[in-house]
Structure 1
Amino acid sequence: MGFENKKGGGIVMLSLQQKIALQQKLSPQQIQYQKLLQLNTLALEQRIKTELELNPILEETTEEELSLDQLEEESDGQEDITLDEEEENYNNREDEFDIEDFMNDTEYEYEFDRLNRSQDEEKFYPIAQQRRSLRDSLIEQLHMLDLTEEEMILGENIIGALDKDGYFKEDLEKFVNDLKLFEQIDVDLKKAEKVLKLIQTLDPPGLGARNLQECLLVQIRNSSFDPYYSYIAEKILENHFDDFVNKRYDNIQKNLNLSKETLKTAISIIQKLNPKPGEGNIDAEEVNQITPDFIIEKVDDNYIVTLNDKSVPSVTISKTYLEMLESKKRKRKISEREKETHKFLREKFESAKWFIASLQQRRNTLLKIMQSILEKQYEFFENGPKYLKPMIYKDIADEIGMDISTISRVVNGKYVQSPQGIHELKYFFSEGLSTDSGDEISNKHIKELIKEICENEPKDNPYSDDKIASILQEKGIHIARRTVAKYREQLKIPIARLRKKL
């Protein structure tokens, strides 16, 4: 295929190509369902209230409740009006009404509220101000930076993914891909790296680091220590981190050609840095009340799982609006304004149906996952933390036939109240190791054993980490001294010397 170029006299050739490509796309309903899955009970309550304000078709459930099945039947029975055909046989009528006539029925709403409002509700009861978490402070600082809307959303998601110590342990590339898939936010990896680096410099610096080395480097580069010793400390962390961690100070002194006094000063600066900048502050969970999303109760010999969603409004489709849609279907001809009204109502009706279906699907999914966790960790709920079994997301995903990402969304930020106390769902997931007997044991179980050993040790001669490791090995649990030290620190148990009592 070609044509003649009259100016140049040549022939320009055009080619047509066909290309087949597979793309993974989620429907609006799937995206809405995935977002609802991530919400805990309090956030879901607010989300439903927002939807009630945005969609006039939705209303809180009354005694005359409509089920989703009824909605499907009624909607299936409503055929789309062929507006252009009906116009030909329609005679102008005087009973036209505008959408505002039924969207702003303020007189009825006011009377209903007045009759159902008690005197107690009109009283003002001051409550203690909620403490702001470090995460809230980071988001506030983030909004003061010069970022695009996409970068801002990415930054908020990164801050939301920080662990309890303030570290960002996610794979950044996968994180960006998930954001593109579920939030329709497309930010390339280079920009994402820039946003992460900016978050690391917020106050306090070091938050958002992916490992200890990066955390300390960010802090030393944003510190106010003596410039010379800060430079030496940075070189130690940057090029000799392994020697520093293992206290091979002779190697550092030799490689950097430092005097003993200079090395000592630089090391003392590093030791003043915070290895866990978000510890105890990243969330305000310790000072704010936790509302469990699930309640597990023991009735006779069985455990019953229920969703703690009594405060969550139940929603349904307004019968008034359904009747409006039905009345328009029976009309032989309608005006242009009624066309727009009908289109608006149909869109809101479909949106309401999707929302109610997503809520029901969310409820079923949450109960299914919690029930599976209960079955796999039955001994924990029966006998306590020492009987917690190793379990990963894949175990639950395979059990109920769902994707691992779905399990992750349900588990994140949700709590369960049981006879063993209130626990975050993440608590039930842990890696494990095999004992000499061939049984799998959870690392949380090992922590409980270490705690128990320290509580029962001689107070005048506490056990060292080596001794604790030997005791565990006698029980058939082979664990390194370094791992014992790590678990002991996580339990906030001091070293043996500081545990000694006279």
Structure 2
Amino acid sequence: MQRLDLKQLLSQKLSPQQIQFIKLLQIPTAELETRIKEEMEVNPALEEGDTDEPDEQERNEDDDRDDENDPDAEYDSDNSTLDEDFEDRADDRADDIPEPEITPKDDTPEQPDNTDLDLSDYLNDDEIAGYKMQGDGPGDEEERDMPLADTSGSLMDALLDQLHFADLDEKQEAIGQQLIGSIDGDGYIRRDLAAIANDMAFSQNIETTVAEIEAVLRVVQGFDPAGIAARDLPECLLLQLERRPQDDDTVNAERILTETFEEFTKKHYVRIQQKLDLEDDELKDAISVILKLNPKPGGSGPTGPGKTQYLMPDFILTNDNGVLNLTLNARNAPELRVSPAYTEMFRTYDKASKKDQKMKEAVTFVKQKLDSAKWFIDAIRQRQNTLLRTMNAIVELQREFFIEGDEGKLRPMILKDIATRIGMDISTVSRVANSKSVQTEFGIYPLKYFFSEGIATDSGEDASSREVKSILKDLVGNESKARPLSDDKLEKMLNARGYNIARRTVAKYREQLNIPVARLRKEL
């Protein structure tokens, strides 16, 4: 049996403007420019330029003067797409305008003198700038801003080029292409050769065996960079050792990788010496050879897929004799405005005496684009304001660090501390701190770097966990590599300095600093 019930519910919904602001707030500066360009592509009413516009009263007076002097002022010659009614009205008005007088010319055309013709006298850069086609090259300003294209090529292209020069038949070359396509970003082939044979049978209708694939694989493994197309780490390192001069150090290194690889990964050097009967100097030289090899050949060399990435700071902080000056990166404050052409178009349509269905659709479309442009500009301004308020609060709390650059001066600070100071929600502060960075005199720091928990000290004050990590890093850096410090010893040394910290916390901080355990830090 169906029932009709009435319920009262409280729900929180975000407006489209709030959603747009949240998305803009969390993206970094490097992506903001791309986001603005995307918005300008879909919204022609948004354009770059100064937001300063004449007052509304001045615009209305100018419009009235233009209407008195120009009977066609309500039509925009550059942007209008007039329908039939507008064309009829324009034709009626054109009948009242006298035709211009035409001066008769001789039948014989006058030959122009091309000797002193200077094309620059007849071309205006401002006039042709808006009519540049796709084939036109960028101007001087654009050339400085455009990044250079990567012409080095990819790893796969380099391997395929080497494959074409190998002495292989048609079937072997097809197998080689399949193997090169199976190489991952680190330069390994982690798929089973039998699975590759099945792929070739189903996708290319080529019947082959594992032995044939392995024979071609040996050819591909001889390509540059050394160690490419290996199936595991030992094979990758051995392929690189094959290209080295076969001296005693290389031979001992090959024995370590083939006979005692597990002991080598765990740095059980005593067991390696006992099993291979090596002296201390022989073991040390062989280990030195192995450590110089590349475990990820796919990401090295000029043909590697990795590209250099540059960190673009969102804030710039300068120190002027103890006075900290905070500014936004110029890319965070773009000059945007609502297109005057679209604004004038909306006024023209709105003032039109005759409005049909097409006219109403045009007015609705233009109004939507104008509102969307205004919302986007307001969201950008609100983003700038929120970024500055948040960063100013961080600078106030961490002033000593920004003055001296000493990690020991960092104070404990969490998201709630900043949210309370600026009167915003913690989620807003989290979006600002995420993927944002600040440029200081001591380098570029991500905003997350300044947020840390507090550690109790013997003096009763709280020390930043960043300060404890800095001390922990110094202790490990100054330890004896023959006898590294264990977590228990590190705990006692920190406690002796007045930091009340447990061993599990030491282990957590050590892992966050990417410091391995004591056994793996041991060196010969």
Q: Same fold (TM over 0.5)?
A: yes
Using the size of structure 2 for normalisation, the TM-score is 0.53
For the 8 Å contact 1:325–1:345, the answer to whether it is kept is yes
- Show the 5 A alignment for 1:91-130: 101=80, 111-112=129-130, 114=132, 117-118=138-139, 126-128=148-150
In 1, the alpha carbon distance for the partners of 2:328 and 2:429 equals 16
Q: Read off the aligned partner of 2:352 and give its amino acid letter.
A: K
For the 8 Å contact 1:41–1:309, the answer to whether it is kept is no
C-alpha offsets along residues 279-308 of structure 1, whole Å, 9 cap, x if unaligned?
xx9xx9994111111111112211111111
Give the drift of 1:126: 4.7
Return closer, same or farther for 1:96/1:294 CA change in 2, 3 Å cut-off: closer
| SS of the residue 1:479 aligns to | coil
Return closer, same or farther for 1:329/1:495 CA change in 2, 3 Å cut-off: closer
* Correspondence for 2:423 among 401, 419, 427: 401
Does residue 414 in structure 1 map to residue 436 in structure 2? yes
Equivalent residue number for residue 352 of structure 2: 331
Does residue 344 in structure 1 map to residue 365 in structure 2? yes
In 2, the alpha carbon distance for the partners of 1:471 and 1:14 equals 73
Give the drift of 1:38: 1.0
Return closer, same or farther for 1:501/1:29 CA change in 2, 3 Å cut-off: closer
For the 8 Å contact 1:98–1:338, the answer to whether it is kept is no
In 1, the alpha carbon distance for the partners of 2:504 and 2:516 equals 14
Return closer, same or farther for 1:99/1:460 CA change in 2, 3 Å cut-off: same
Equivalent residue number for residue 337 of structure 2: 316
In 2, the alpha carbon distance for the partners of 1:111 and 1:21 equals 57
Q: Read off the aligned partner of 2:11 and give its amino acid letter.
A: Q
Equivalent residue number for residue 469 of structure 1: 491
For the 8 Å contact 1:131–1:287, the answer to whether it is kept is no
In 1, the alpha carbon distance for the partners of 2:306 and 2:320 equals 30
Equivalent residue number for residue 52 of structure 2: 65
In 2, the alpha carbon distance for the partners of 1:375 and 1:131 equals 48
Does residue 488 in structure 1 map to residue 505 in structure 2? no
In 1, the alpha carbon distance for the partners of 2:331 and 2:437 equals 15
For the 8 Å contact 1:130–1:288, the answer to whether it is kept is no
Unaligned runs of 5+ in 2: 61-71, 83-124, 155-231, 233-261, 267-298, 300-304
Q: Read off the aligned partner of 2:411 and give its amino acid letter.
A: K
C-alpha offsets along residues 347-397 of structure 1, whole Å, 9 cap, x if unaligned?
111111111111100100011001111111112212322222221111111
In 2, the alpha carbon distance for the partners of 1:455 and 1:327 equals 73
In 2, the alpha carbon distance for the partners of 1:303 and 1:360 equals 23
For the 8 Å contact 1:66–1:317, the answer to whether it is kept is no
C-alpha offsets along residues 238-259 of structure 1, whole Å, 9 cap, x if unaligned?
xxxxxxxxxxxxxxxxxxxxxx
Give the drift of 1:461: 4.8
Equivalent residue number for residue 120 of structure 2: none
In 1, the alpha carbon distance for the partners of 2:31 and 2:409 equals 32
For the 8 Å contact 1:295–1:308, the answer to whether it is kept is yes
Equivalent residue number for residue 412 of structure 2: 390
Equivalent residue number for residue 293 of structure 1: 314
For the 8 Å contact 2:79–2:345, the answer to whether it is kept is no
Equivalent residue number for residue 32 of structure 1: 20
| SS of the residue 2:452 aligns to | coil
Unaligned runs of 5+ in 1: 1-12, 76-92, 133-223, 225-266, 272-280
Return closer, same or farther for 1:490/1:329 CA change in 2, 3 Å cut-off: closer
Say which is worse superposed, 115-124 or 332-341, in terms of deviation. 115-124
Equivalent residue number for residue 277 of structure 2: none
For the 8 Å contact 2:48–2:336, the answer to whether it is kept is yes
Give the drift of 1:338: 2.0
| SS of the residue 2:80 aligns to | helix
Equivalent residue number for residue 464 of structure 2: 442
In 2, the alpha carbon distance for the partners of 1:366 and 1:360 equals 10
In 1, the alpha carbon distance for the partners of 2:521 and 2:328 equals 43
| SS of the residue 1:471 aligns to | helix
How big is the alpha-carbon RMSD for the aligned residues of Structure 1 and Structure 2?
A: 4.1
C-alpha offsets along residues 384-430 of structure 1, whole Å, 9 cap, x if unaligned?
22222221111111111101111111111111111231111111112
In 2, the alpha carbon distance for the partners of 1:24 and 1:129 equals 51
C-alpha offsets along residues 266-325 of structure 1, whole Å, 9 cap, x if unaligned?
x99xx9xxxxxxxxx9xx999411111111111221111111133764210111221222
Q: Read off the aligned partner of 1:472 and give its amino acid letter.
A: L
Q: Read off the aligned partner of 2:38 and give its amino acid letter.
A: T
Return closer, same or farther for 1:14/1:343 CA change in 2, 3 Å cut-off: same
| SS of the residue 1:310 aligns to | helix
Give the drift of 1:14: 7.9
In 2, the alpha carbon distance for the partners of 1:314 and 1:340 equals 30
For the 8 Å contact 2:398–2:410, the answer to whether it is kept is yes
* Correspondence for 1:376 among 381, 388, 397: 397
Give the drift of 1:99: 10
In 2, the alpha carbon distance for the partners of 1:131 and 1:444 equals 42
Equivalent residue number for residue 380 of structure 2: 359
Return closer, same or farther for 1:17/1:476 CA change in 2, 3 Å cut-off: same
Equivalent residue number for residue 473 of structure 2: 451
Give the drift of 1:453: 2.0
In 2, the alpha carbon distance for the partners of 1:386 and 1:336 equals 70
Equivalent residue number for residue 89 of structure 1: none
Equivalent residue number for residue 48 of structure 1: 36
For the 8 Å contact 2:510–2:516, the answer to whether it is kept is yes
Q: Read off the aligned partner of 1:374 and give its amino acid letter.
A: V
C-alpha offsets along residues 62-82 of structure 1, whole Å, 9 cap, x if unaligned?
4x7349xx79x999xxxxxxx
Structure (1 or 2) with the larger CA radius of gyration: 2
For the 8 Å contact 2:33–2:331, the answer to whether it is kept is no
In 2, the alpha carbon distance for the partners of 1:476 and 1:410 equals 34
Return closer, same or farther for 1:362/1:56 CA change in 2, 3 Å cut-off: same
For the 8 Å contact 1:99–1:341, the answer to whether it is kept is no
* Correspondence for 1:478 among 484, 497, 500: 500
- Show the 5 A alignment for 1:126-275: 126-128=148-150
In 2, the alpha carbon distance for the partners of 1:367 and 1:21 equals 37
In 2, the alpha carbon distance for the partners of 1:407 and 1:109 equals 47
| SS of the residue 1:290 aligns to | coil
Give the drift of 1:433: 1.8
Q: Read off the aligned partner of 1:58 and give its amino acid letter.
A: L
